[in-house]
Amino acid sequence: MRTLTLLAFCGAAFLATSGGQDSDLAKLQGVWDLTTVEIDGKALSMDDLKESRLVVKGDAYLFRFRDTHLDFKITLDSSQTPKTIDMLVVEGPEKGNLYKGIYVLEGDKYKICRHIQPGQERPTAFGTHGDSGLMMNVYKREKT
């Protein structure tokens, strides 16, 4: 009986801690509008990008812009500082490539920083500069 109680407690503790890991994934669910993009220290004009959307359903991370469709499977780790995101390409010619990034999720604002090319080291800080090869996107949750 004592062993069963201990196992039940350990199982509940595991679920509580792993639930914390998944809480950002739950908060990220929905449709997001792209508000700013910066690549190599240069802000892109949002006039051309205003139609772009990010849709997160479960661990599916779907970026849509006109005819461009980028489909990823994401894994978040909110226990890291900064928080980390791994983005595995699941469709198209880049299928199997992995992008490693960092993110911040605060209410209806989501910021991600990653390299433009797959297979690069994970950024350690937010921001881009010169020929860093980094891209930083900021999204705002779409109002339903």
Contact present, 76 and 25 (Cβ < 8 Å): yes
The CATH class given to the 2-141 domain equals mainly beta
Strand partners, 57: 60
Domain locations in the chain?
A: 2-141
Contact present, 32 and 56 (Cβ < 8 Å): yes
Tell me the pLDDT band of 3, cut-offs 50, 70 and 90: very low
DSSP H or E stretch at residue 16:
helix 2-28
User: Could you give the CA distance from residue 124 to residue 122 in angstroms, rounded to a whole number?
Assistant: 6
**For position 68, what pLDDT does the model report?**
87
The pLDDT tens digits for 90-112 are: 998 899 999 999 999 999 999 99
Which position has the higher pLDDT, 20 or 38? 38
Tell me the pLDDT band of 143, cut-offs 50, 70 and 90: confident
**For position 18, what pLDDT does the model report?**
40
